[in-house]
C-alpha cells in the first residue's frame, strides 16, 4: 500500500511539474517570456482582429515541413491582428485544415477582441529577431481559467 501511494504521489508531482501554465499575453512583446517544451511553446494573445488574407507559403514554413513540424497544406490564409496595448499590426499563418476557422473569421468584425492560440517554434524565424509562430485557434472568448 505504501509503494502504491508513493507511486501515485510521484505521478501527480511529475504531471504538475511538466504542465505549463498558460497566461493571456498582450502588448507588442507577446513573444517574450517563452517556455519551450520539445521545441515549441503555446501562447494565447488577446488582440483586435484586423482581417485575414490569402497566404503565400513562407520559406520558414517549408523548412518546418521538411523537419516534420507542420504541414503547409493546413494553412491557407494569414490572420491580421493588433495585440491589445500595442499599435503595431501583426499577421501570421492560421491553421484551418477543416474550414472551421474560416467560418469563424467570416463572423468577426474588424477591431473585435479575439483570443489567438498560437504555437511558437524555437529556432525558426520569419523576420530577423522575431520567432515564427502559427495561429492554431481564433476565439471570441477567453477559455483559460
Tens digits of pLDDT across the chain (145 residues): 555 434 334 333 333 333 444 568 888 999 998 999 999 999 999 999 999 999 887 899 999 999 999 999 999 899 999 999 999 999 999 998 777 888 888 899 999 999 999 999 999 998 888 899 999 999 998 766 5
What's the pLDDT at 17?
Answer: 37
User: What's the Rg (C-alpha) of the chain?
Assistant: 18
CA separation, residue 95 to residues 64, 67, 128 (Å): 14, 18, 23
All domains in the chain, ordered by first residue: 22-139 (2.40.50)
Amino acid at each position: 500500500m505504501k509503494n502504491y501511494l508513493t507511486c501515485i504521489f510521484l505521478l501527480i508531482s511529475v504531471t504538475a511539474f511538466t504542465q505549463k501554465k498558460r497566461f493571456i499575453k498582450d502588448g507588442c512583446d507577446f513573444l517574450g517570456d517563452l517556455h519551450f517544451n520539445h521545441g515549441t511553446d503555446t501562447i494565447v494573445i488577446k488582440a483586435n482582429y484586423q482581417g485575414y488574407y490569402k497566404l503565400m507559403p513562407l520559406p520558414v514554413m517549408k523548412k518546418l515541413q521538411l523537419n516534420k513540424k507542420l504541414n503547409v497544406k493546413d494553412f491557407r490564409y494569414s490572420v491580421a491582428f493588433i495585440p491589445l496595448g500595442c499599435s503595431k499590426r501583426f499577421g501570421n499563418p492560421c491553421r484551418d485544415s477543416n474550414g472551421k476557422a474560416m467560418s469563424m473569421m467570416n463572423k468577426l468584425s474588424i477591431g473585435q477582441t479575439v483570443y489567438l492560440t498560437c504555437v511558437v517554434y524555437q529556432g525558426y524565424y520569419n523576420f530577423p529577431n522575431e520567432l515564427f509562430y502559427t495561429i492554431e485557434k481564433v476565439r471570441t472568448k477567453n477559455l483559460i481559467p
